[in-house]
Every structure is written in C-alpha cells, then in structure tokens.
Amino acid sequence: MYEQSLDGAVALVTGASSGIGAATARRLAREGAAVALAARRRDRLERVASDIVKLGGEAVVSEADLTEPGRADDLVQDTLDRYGRLDILVNNAGIMLLNSALHTTVEEWDRMISLNVAALLHVTHAAVPHLIYAASTSPRQVADLVNVGSTAGRVARPDSSVYGLTKSGLRSFSESLRQELIGERVRVSVVEPGTVDTELVDHVSDTTRDAARREVAGIEALRPEDIADAISYIVTRERRVAVNELLVRAADQTW
C-alpha cells in the first residue's frame, strides 16, 4: 500500500476558480479531502464547489483577491473557522503577463510580483503554523505544502523575464522552506507544469496572446487534470516519501 487516503484532511487551494486549481480541488475532494477554494470569481468557485458536493464531497468557497492586504490571513482563518484544521495548502493562483521589457509596463510587472510572489508568501506565512499542527495531530502524520511553479522557472525565454523570475524565485523559496520544515513533518513540494490548456493566456494583450498561441501551435497541451494528478500523487504518498519536485511537460514541448 503506497497511497494514503485524504479522508479527514482539509486542503486549501488558491486559484481554484479555473484551470489547474479547479481540477486540483476536484481531485483532492475525490481523494477524500474537504476543500477550501479561493479566488476572485465567486460564481466560478461556487460551480466547482457544487460539483464536488454533488459527488459526495465537501467544499467551501472563499472569494478573495489575494493581492489585497490582509486577505491571505483572512483566507487561512476562514478555512480554520470552517473546518478547524489545515493539512494541505496548494499555492496555485498565478498570472502570466507575457511581454518584453521594452513594451510592458511596470504595472504589469508589479501585478505578477504581487500575486505570484507576495500573495504566495503571505498565504504560506499564515498557513505554516497550522500545517505544523496538522502534521503532529492527523492520522496521516504529515502535512503538505505544494507550490505551483512553471517550466518558466527553469528555462528563461524572451517575453517572460518577470514571470520566470516569479517562478524561479518560487523554487528557491520552496527549497529553503522544505529544509526548515523537515523536522515538523511538513513536506514542501514544487510542481512545474509545461503548457497546459487553461485561461492563463487570456489575460495578456491580443498581440502577445496570439504570439503565445503560435508558439504552442502543433503541441498537444496538457490538461489541467494532468497537473491535478501530479499534485494528488505528491500529497497521497505515505509519510516516509517526500516528492519534492515534479516537472510535467507536454510531451511535444522542447523548452
């Protein structure tokens, strides 16, 4: 038996209104976890939660713009108020505003830093004491923190300088945290997706979006469920196993 059920565990997934986060929330619920879903679009979160509940799962929705001051703390507290514990945190919310340094604005750079970096740090800081507590009290005897990085955190490419910076920074932050939390039985992992078919490129300008789509034309993109599968694999390992990093590219992807 190499897999643990998530029955009785509570998971918080940021960016759960679409794409990888929504698929991950559904998957963790299927594995038995009660899931707290956070993002800005309440209607989309409610749709995911309602699907989970229809399948016999447990889910709660927190409408949250994580770039707002104090919102990360509130979100973790909301989850504790609702379920009394936190066993798994998936830091997934992120934006990718592709552009060159010449044509972008510093406002675009700031938006990526404030969600992909600052919000991730704030949610993590609020969650760590509760993950430590869960690890010492749960039947699983372990808690999990999964950060969603990107191939862009490993391979630098034009037009993704600051997006890549946020994702490579995520790797070193995660590795440091992993070492800090080993004695607390909190596993820290990074999942690095390649090209996944989601709404991620919808937020960039038409020209950049067209360029991004041209780049991946001919590649069969991953599905959000493929990354949810990787995350589920990590968090359902037995206590002695720590999968620290998973790089999951689309099979045809060269970079």
Query: Active-site positions?
Result: 163
Residue nearer to ligand NDP on the CB measure, 34 or 146: 146
Kindly state the smallest distance separating residue 89's Cβ from ligand NDP, in Å.
Answer: 14
Q: What's the rounded Cα separation, in Å, for the pair 113 and 98?
A: 13
Q: What's the rounded Cα separation, in Å, for the pair 12 and 119?
A: 14
Q: What's the rounded Cα separation, in Å, for the pair 87 and 212?
A: 36
Residue nearer to ligand NDP on the CB measure, 39 or 246: 39
Kindly state the smallest distance separating residue 158's Cβ from ligand NDP, in Å.
Answer: 17
Q: For binding to ligand NDP (CB under 6 A), which residues are involved?
A: 15-21, 39-41, 44, 64-67, 92-96, 115, 148, 150, 193, 195-196, 198-200, 224
Residue 152 CB partners (closer than 8 Å, separation 6+):
96, 160, 163, 164, 167, 168
The one-letter code for the residue type at 226 is D
Residue nearer to ligand NDP on the CB measure, 135 or 235: 235
Residue 180 CB partners (closer than 8 Å, separation 6+):
none
Q: Tell me the C-alpha to C-alpha distance, in Å, between residue 70 and each of 57, 74, 116, 121.
A: 29, 6, 16, 12
Residue nearer to ligand NDP on the CB measure, 141 or 253: 253
Kindly state the smallest distance separating residue 68's Cβ from ligand NDP, in Å.
Answer: 8
Kindly state the smallest distance separating residue 176's Cβ from ligand NDP, in Å.
Answer: 19
Q: Rounded to the nearest 5°, which phi and psi values hold at 241?
A: -105, 125
Tell me whether residue 48 is exposed, middle or buried, using C-beta atoms within 10 angstroms of its C-beta: 0 to 12, 13 to 18, 19 or more: buried
Kindly state the smallest distance separating residue 224's Cβ from ligand NDP, in Å.
Answer: 6
72 SS3 class: helix
Q: What's the rounded Cα separation, in Å, for the pair 47 and 32?
A: 19
Residue nearer to ligand NDP on the CB measure, 132 or 247: 247
Q: What's the rounded Cα separation, in Å, for the pair 210 and 229?
A: 29
